[in-house]
Amino acid sequence: MDIQTSFLDRLFESGLLIDTGVDGLYGRSAQFEDVIAAFERLIDRFGGADGAEVIRFPSGMNRAFFETSGYMKSFPQLAGTVHSFCGNELDHMSLLKCMEVGEDWTKDQEATDIVLTPAACYPLYPTVAKRGPLPESGALFDLQSYCFRHESSKDPARQQLFRMREYVCMGTAKHVTDFRQSWMSRGVEMMTAVGLEITIDVANDPFFGRAGKMLANNQRDQKLKFELLIPITSSAKPTACMSFNYHQDAFGAKWGLNLEDGSVAHTACVGFGLERIALALLHHHGLNTVAWPESVRKALWG
C-alpha cells in the first residue's frame, strides 16, 4: 500500500472524509468542515479590510460563458458538463430498458445550459463585463465555490469536487500585480501562523496536448502563475494549496472588461484550495484537531 492510500484510509477511518465509492468524491465530517470554516475566517481577517465585493456563485455556470472562456481549448480533459433526459414517454421506456439490461443509458442524455464550474472565478468575468467600464481604481471580488475537475485520484488532495476560495482583482497591470504580490506575502504569513512549512514556486497549468506544452512553457517563462506548496502526501512533490495567477489583459480582452479610460483591464486571481489546506493541517498536526498545538488552535479558533 502506498503512502497516499494510507493517508486516505486514515481519513476514512477517522470519519473526516466519507467514502462515496468514487475516487475524489467525498463527504466531509463536522470536524473537517470546522477546519475549513476556521481557515476561511483567517482568510477574512487577512483580506477583509480590502473591501472586496463578496459574490457566491453555485457550482454550475452558464454553458455559453464556459464556451466563450476557451476552457475546452486548454483543459478539455478536466471539464464536466451537465446533461439531462429530455425525451418523451417512448424515450423514457427505452431509457429504462437500457438501464435494466445494463447498457449505456447515458448516451441519449442531452446537454443542458449548465456546466460544472472549473474554477471559482470563471463566472465572474462575464458578470462584471455586463456592468460596464471599471473604475480607474480597479475592482476586487471575494468568491468561493465548489469546483469540478475530472481528475480522479487516490490522493485525497486531488479531488473531483472541492472548494476554491478566490480573490479576483481587475485594474491596471501595476494594480493587479501588486495585489498578487501582497497575497503571496499574506499566504506565507497565514501558513506560518498555522504551523505549516511552505515553499513558493513558479508553476504552469496542465494545458492539454502538444500545443499545450508551449502554453505551459510560456506561462512559466513569464512567471504568470505561482503556487504555494505544502507537503501533504509527498515531501518530494509538495501540493499546491494556493495559486497566484496573473492573466495579463487576456481575460480583459476576451470579456470586454475595460477601465474608464478605455484601456483593457488586466486581471489576477489568488486561489485557496480549502480541502488541501485542511488536509495539510490534518496531515501535519494530526487527525484530532483538539490535540493540535495551542498556537495553531489560537490562530484558527481564537
Residues lying near ligand ATP in the complex (CB under 6 A): 119, 149, 151, 157-159, 162, 164, 205, 227, 240-243, 271, 273, 275-276
Q: In the complex, what is the shortest distance from the CB of residue 266 to ligand ATP, in angstroms, rounded to a whole number?
A: 18
CB 169 within 8 A of CB 138: yes
Size of the site for Zn ion (CB under 5 A): 3
Which partner, Mg ion, ligand ATP, Zn ion, none, binds residue 193 by CB below 5 to 8 Å per kind? none
How far CA 15 is from CA of 8, 33, 231, 281, in Å, comes to: 11, 12, 22, 16
CA atoms within 13 A on the CB side of 124: 25
Q: Smallest distance from the beta carbon of 242 to Mg ion, in angstroms?
A: 11
C-alpha cell at 50: 480590502
Rounded to whole angstroms, the Cα distance separating 1 from 248 reads 44
Q: If DSSP codes are grouped into helix, strand and coil, which group holds residue 60?
A: strand
* Using rule CB under 5 A, residue 61 touches Zn ion: no
CB of 9 to Mg ion, least distance (A): 25
By a kind-dependent CB cut-off of 5 to 8 A, residue 269 interacts, out of ligand ATP, Zn ion, Mg ion, none, with Zn ion
Whole-angstrom distance between the N-terminal and C-terminal Cα of the chain?
39
Complex with Zn ion: residue 31 or 204, whichever CB lies closer: 204
* Cβ proximity of 113 and 61 under 8 Å: no
Quick note: the x/- pattern for Mg ion over 205-244, rule CB under 5 A, is -----------------------------------x----
Phi, psi of 82 (to 5 degrees): -100, 120
Q: For the window 256-285, what string marks contact with Zn ion as x by the rule CB under 5 A?
A: -------------x----------------
Write down the least CB distance from residue 102 to Zn ion, Å.
41
162 binds, among ligand ATP, Mg ion, Zn ion, none (CB under 5 to 8 A by kind): ligand ATP
Pick the piece of the chain touching Zn ion (CB under 5 A) from 68-76, 100-108, 114-122, 145-153: 114-122
For the chain, what percentages of helix, strand and coil (3-state, to nearest 5) are there? 40, 25, 35
Q: Residue 52 binds which entry of ligand ATP, Mg ion, Zn ion, none, with Cβ cut-offs from 5 to 8 Å by kind?
A: none
Of residues 82 and 240, the one with the C-beta less far from Mg ion: 240
Residues in contact with 281: Cβ distance below 8 Å, sequence separation at least 6, in sequence order:
35, 39, 194, 196, 289, 292, 296
CA–CA separation, 142 vs 17, rounded Å? 27
- Residue numbers 191-250 binding Zn ion by CB under 5 A: none
Nearer to ligand ATP, 142 or 227 (CB): 227
